Structure formats: structure tokens, C-alpha cells
Chains A and B, each alone.
Chain A
Amino acid sequence: MKRTIKFLLPLVLFLIAVGFLFKGLFLDPREVPSPLVGKPAPSFQAPVLGEAGKTFNSDDMKGQVWLLNVWASWCAACREEHPVLMAMEKTGQIATYGLDYKDTDAEAQAVLKEHGNPYKVVATDADGKIGIDYGVYGVPETYVIDKTGVIRYKQIGPITEEILLTKIVPLLKELQR
């Protein structure tokens, strides 16, 4: 009996190590958990894209669930996510607001004109200051913000159909109740 344990112990330890390493294969080191999830979304005021003189105030969003999608015309992965945002907009279940990050208005407007505009309003963050407040480090990033203005979920990188259906939609249903 004692001998069997002695013989099996290294194997068990080895299998545990393999288990950890195997899980590591599917973790993305670029996805840094945001400390902002569960905290109030930083409030900001920013000019609205394409409507000179108008300002978007994030405080006005209190009382509704909304998505803040950080994007830019120079961001290739944003194009990848764009059809998903368009599909979301078509369902009318959720209001997506854009934050045009470190971009020029003309280029951003050109992209929206060419591919369609999934946003209710696009606020502009030309110098990236709002981005820093939200801990943005790679666009696209998307925040789900609840009725009280608390960030409930952060998606780093493009929203895929799978993420939309398995994570965002169920969360929205829960929050919109």
C-alpha cells in the first residue's frame, strides 16, 4: 500500500502540473482583468462626432443600461467587430454609444459612412484622456454599464458572436430587468 502511494505520488503531481499548463494554453495574457469592473464608470463630457457644438455627458446615461464601445478608424479589429455591433443595433435591445479614441473626426465619419453606423451617439476622445480614465489599452474595448452607472463587464478586443450570445446578452437581460 505504502509502496503504491510512493509510486503514484509523482504521477499525480505531474498530472496536476499538466492540468495547470493545459489551462494556461487557453488563457490570453493580453487580457488584463480591469479593476474598473464593479466600480462606477468614470464620468466624462466629450464633443459629439459630426454634431459641432454638441456635448455628450455620460452622467445623462443614468437610469439605463448602455454599452460604451471604444473604437477608432485606424483600428483593424474594430472592423471585425463592426457587423456584430450592427446586428445588435438592429435588434434595438440595447443602446450602443461609441467613443472614438485618438482619431480624427473626418476619418471616423468616413468609416461610419462606408460601413454603417451602429452607434446612437459617438463621443470623441481625440487626445485619449477619457481612454486613460477607462483603462483603455487596446481598442476595441466595450463596457457594459448598468442603470446606476456601474461597469458590469468589460470586453477587451472585438465582440464576437459567441461572446455576444454567451456573455453580453444574458448580462443585459439580467440588468434590464
Chain B
Amino acid sequence: MKKLLILFLLVFNFLLSTSAAFAGEAKPLAEDPVLEARLKAMSHELRCLVCQNQTLADSNSPLAEDLRKEIRAQMRAGKSDQEVVDYLVARYGDFVRYRPPVNSNTALLWFGPFLLLLIGGFVLYRVLKKQAGSDDIQGEDG
């Protein structure tokens, strides 16, 4: 019985160790924690194009995996965060970034709300002024 237990433990142990060895995605973490932290921070800012509402960090799609691998390789080669992001934007467009850059395409997106605020403010000003005026002369509009 004891022998069987030992055998069982041995087999169990073996299974545990092999499954750890197969966890290829998680393993590089120990190699360079600084780089992994950079990768993690950056991949939260990037969109996975396969499942568009997920970040590159959250996605398990094969493309996201490939891109993480590529980013890791480029960081290891000494590229700065900006260079890596530029590399991805050159291939996939601004859409990969969760924070859209300010350019002519996104001007309406960035400044539209302020424009609406201005228009609203102007209308409010006109209405209030008109009401103040009509109060004086007992306006018929009420």
C-alpha cells in the first residue's frame, strides 16, 4: 500500500513538473521582470484586432500571442515603448491604440464635445437674454 502511495506521489509530481514546463506563455516572466512589466503596461493600451473590445493583454487569440511575442522581442532588442507602438501603428493603424492620437482624422472626436458645449452655451445665453428682456415688457411668450 505504502509503495503504491509513493508511486502515486511520484507520478503526480512528474505530471506537475511537466505541466509547468509546458506553460510557455507564463515562463518568460521570471527572465526579465522589468521588461515583462513594460510589456504588460503597454499591452493594456493596445487593442487586439481579432476581438476588438479586448486589450492585447487580455486577449488569448493567436494573433495577440504573436504580437506580445513580437513586442517582447523588440523590447529585448532595446527598442523604446514609443518605437514599438509606432511599429504596430504602421501595420495596423491608429485603431490598435486605445487612446486615439490627435490628428486631422480625430479632430472632431477630440474637439467636437467642446464645440457642442460652445453652441449650447450660446443658445442658453440667447434664451436667457431673451427671457430677461421679455420679463421687462411682460412678454406674450411667457
User: Which residues of chain A have a CB within 8 Å of any CB of chain B?
Assistant: 29-30, 32-36, 102, 127-129, 131-135, 137-138
Contact = CB atoms under 8 A, between A and B. Distances in A.
B92 interface: yes
A32 B95 CA distance: 7
A91 B63 CA distance: 34
Given A128-B66, A132-B66, A137-B63, A32 B93 contact: yes
Given A30-B52, A137-B50, A35 B66 contact: no
B62 A132 contact: no
B62 A135 contact: no
Interface of B is mostly: helix
B50 A132 contact: no
A151 to B, nearest CB: 12
A138 to B, nearest CB: 7
A23 B103 CA distance: 24
Contacts, number: 38
B62 A102 contact: yes
Interface of B: 49-50, 52, 62-63, 66-67, 70, 89-95
Nearest to B90: A35
Contacts of B66: 127-128, 131-132
A24 to B, nearest CB: 15
Contact of A138 (B50, B89, B91, B93): B50
A73 B62 CA distance: 15
Nearest to B64: A137
A30 B62 CA distance: 17
27 contacts: A29-B52, A30-B52, A32-B49, A32-B92, A32-B93, A32-B95, A33-B93, A34-B92, A35-B89, A35-B91, A35-B92, A35-B94, A127-B66, A128-B62, A128-B66, A131-B66, A132-B66, A132-B67, A132-B70, A133-B91, A134-B91, A135-B91, A135-B93, A137-B49, A137-B63, A138-B49, A138-B50
